[in-house]
Amino acid sequence: MDELHYQIDLLTAMNQKLATKEFMYHTICETSMSAFLFFDLKKNTIQMIGNWSAFFDFKVENRNDLNLIMEMYEEENEFEMQDIFFLEKKGEKYMQEDFKRKNSQIWTEIEAYAIYDEENKPAYKVLRFKNITKSKTQHEELKYMAYYDPLTGLYNRNYFFQRATGFLNKAKENNDRVSILFIDIDNFRQINDGLGILIGDELVQEFGQFLKSFEEDNIIISHFASDIYCLAIYDPRGNSSVEYIHEQIKERCKKPFLLTDNVQINVSVCIGVAEYPEASDELLKLINFAEIVMFKAKKNGKNSIQYFDNEILKDFLKNVDVENQLKSAVYRKSFEVYYQPQFDLETGKLRGAEALVRMRDEDGKIVSPAQFIPIAEKNGSIFTIGSWIMEESIRTFSMIHKKYQVDYILSLNISAVQFEKPDFVSVLMGYLKQYDVPPELIELELTESILIDDLNQIIEKMHLLREYGIKISLDDFGTGYSSLSYLKGLPIDTLKIDKSFVDTVTNDPVTRTIIESIINLTKQLGFETIAEGVETEEQYKYLKTVQCDNIQGFLLGKPMTASDFENMIIHSV
């Protein structure tokens, strides 16, 4: 009897232990946020375990019910899902795949485990369903961030490099071509500054979406930065050719982009093109070359396109070399001021001189101002250079004025960007006061390019300078933006006739007519005239005949050092 009680107590304890384990397993399954199907393949039974209702609103009682699950997911995944559901038919032990539900953003991870008996026959199977929408979304967001530009939705630079490198490798294998297009919106900075960053960003988005319409298997499009885009075309031809895309862009730019609050903006773009294999067989070089020629396209006008060639590259590399020399020269202060004399044409007496900057490279060779001045204006070093030239030439003329008691005119070339600085007038007047030079002996030479910006502000500053007694000269007249109609509204004292007119004055009747018209008009307006670039006796005699006031040029004096100019003064006083 005691033995029977013992057996009953043992069985009771074992049942309690099993019940506890079963409760624990069910609790784990139900709180795991997963749903399970347990198949006893030998008994042909199916058991649903875990958080089943969170996934499906029906029961799975036989194998055919698995079709109900498959119908809930994208049709393109049907065969993969069948392989997982019936992995034992292929002798597999484990399979796993992610599936997206139809018309939904819900993602499910499905895992399948098969357990085989001693004879290697399938005995049991478990299907596990897990909601991975959150992690999948995070993964997709990270993937998007890794591949796409957040502003436009186009490829970012890194992914563009990856895809374009694939194009290049494929082209090398198949002996095909690849075109790289570097695209920049014209005058985008003015749009951004004038209408605000939000409008600028919206324009970048809208133009990017237009470019996206060209996207094909053989065309990839990237937003590089700000208003810059890059395209790569594999085997460009037909509707994928550079010419076709350029024409489509020009057509689109004929219509304004409609933005928020009914803001309408007309834009134009410039495109640089570099192609494999002609330009290079390296992607980074192709992109760099396309960017280089894009800047060349900008010089040709709006909606321009420029293809890479070696001459453009040579010019670019030369400019880079000059820019490096310029940085070194600014650091070393290896600039010199030369003075080109100006003469009164009627009396033949010395009027004064124009101060001209010269730069020496590290080898001591003179670099032409035509090469480094535009670069200095672009990189901002013109402010340092211009300030130094003003002070140095004013100091030199102060010495000449006091030593020889002569009132010669000092003409200073002033860059447009230098003139537009708010403190320009105060800096100039500070130097004149420091070196005790009368303002009446200073003449500022301004080029016509200064007139294309804020004309009213420029004229106001001219009036202020003239109130101090400083003369204003309009340089290179007739070669740029101004016209005769400008003259009546400009507070100027002197007008310089450009060398390009003087060069042809002896053999071109049209040039003579233009020069005589300019001289007659300026006399009526009360201006002085200076003809620059006078190199021959014939030019000299003609200009004297038509009563030009002053001349400068190689005929009477080349640009010279301060000491040589002083020697000229000694012989003229």
For residue range 197-231, what is the model confidence (pLDDT) as tens digits? 899 999 999 999 999 999 999 999 999 988 999 99
Q: Are residues 166 and 276 in the same domain?
A: yes
> Which secondary structure element, helix H or strand E, spans residue 335, and what is its range?
strand 335-344
Q: What is the rounded CA–CA span in Å between residue 232 and residue 183?
A: 11
**β 122-131/409-414 pair status:** unpaired
Q: Are residues 465 and 442 in the same domain?
A: yes
Q: Are residues 251 and 356 in the same domain?
A: no
Q: What is the rounded CA–CA span in Å between residue 503 and residue 490?
A: 27
CB of 364 closer than 8 Å to CB of 373:
no
What is the per-residue pLDDT across 161-183, written as a single tens digit (0 to 9) for each?
Answer: 999 999 999 999 999 999 999 99
Q: Are residues 191 and 264 in the same domain?
A: yes
pLDDT value of position 235: 94
Domain end: 73, 107, 136, which one? 136
CATH number of the domain encompassing residue 370: 3.20.20.450
The answer to the question of residue 17 being in a domain is no
The answer to the question of residue 5 being in a domain is no
Q: What is the rounded CA–CA span in Å between residue 318 and residue 324?
A: 10
Q: Are residues 161 and 265 in the same domain?
A: yes
Q: Are residues 113 and 251 in the same domain?
A: no
* pTM, two decimal places: 0.57
pLDDT value of position 1: 52
pLDDT value of position 7: 58
Q: Are residues 370 and 346 in the same domain?
A: yes
CB of 418 closer than 8 Å to CB of 389:
no
The answer to the question of residue 320 being in a domain is no
**β 257-258/264-265 pair status:** antiparallel
Domain end: 113, 136, 159, which one? 136
The answer to the question of residue 313 being in a domain is no
* Amino acid (one-letter) located at 306: Q
Q: Are residues 400 and 538 in the same domain?
A: yes
pLDDT value of position 29: 55
Burial (CB count <10 Å: 0-12, 13-18, 19+), residue 38:
middle
Residue 404 CA from chain centroid, whole number = 54
Q: What is the rounded CA–CA span in Å between residue 50 and residue 6?
A: 36
Q: What is the rounded CA–CA span in Å between residue 358 and residue 369?
A: 6
> In 3D, which of 266, 242, 263, 264 has the Cα closest to residue 253?
266
Question: Could you count the other beta carbons within 10 Å of the beta carbon of residue 257?
Answer: 17
Domain housing 68: 32-136
Query: Which residues does residue 276 pair with via DSSP β-bridges, in sequence order?
Result: 178
Q: Are residues 384 and 486 in the same domain?
A: yes
Q: What is the rounded CA–CA span in Å between residue 533 and residue 555?
A: 8
Q: What is the rounded CA–CA span in Å between residue 50 and residue 312?
A: 71
* Number of domains forming the structure of the chain: 3
CB of 202 closer than 8 Å to CB of 260:
yes
Q: What is the rounded CA–CA span in Å between residue 335 and residue 376?
A: 13
The answer to the question of residue 513 being in a domain is yes
Q: What is the rounded CA–CA span in Å between residue 546 and residue 569?
A: 28
Q: Are residues 341 and 373 in the same domain?
A: yes
Q: Are residues 292 and 354 in the same domain?
A: no
> In 3D, which of 53, 105, 54, 101 has the Cα closest to residue 81?
101
Ranges assigned E (strand) in 31-175: 34-40, 45-50, 94-100, 107-116, 122-131
pLDDT value of position 551: 95
Both tokens assigned to 137? 């979304």
CATH number of the domain encompassing residue 228: 3.30.70.270
CB of 496 closer than 8 Å to CB of 478:
no
Q: Tell me the residue length of the chain.
A: 573
Residues 6 or more apart whose CB falls under 8 angstroms from that of 50 comprise: 29, 30, 32, 34, 35, 36
Q: In what order do the strands lie in the sheet with 178-185?
A: 219-225, 228-234, 178-185, 269-276, 305-307
The answer to the question of residue 326 being in a domain is no
Ranges of the chain with pLDDT below 70: 1-32, 139-145, 316, 320, 329-332, 451-454, 477-486, 573
Domain end: 136, 167, 184, which one? 136
The answer to the question of residue 11 being in a domain is no
Q: Are residues 131 and 182 in the same domain?
A: no
CATH number of the domain encompassing residue 112: 3.30.450.20
The answer to the question of residue 231 being in a domain is yes
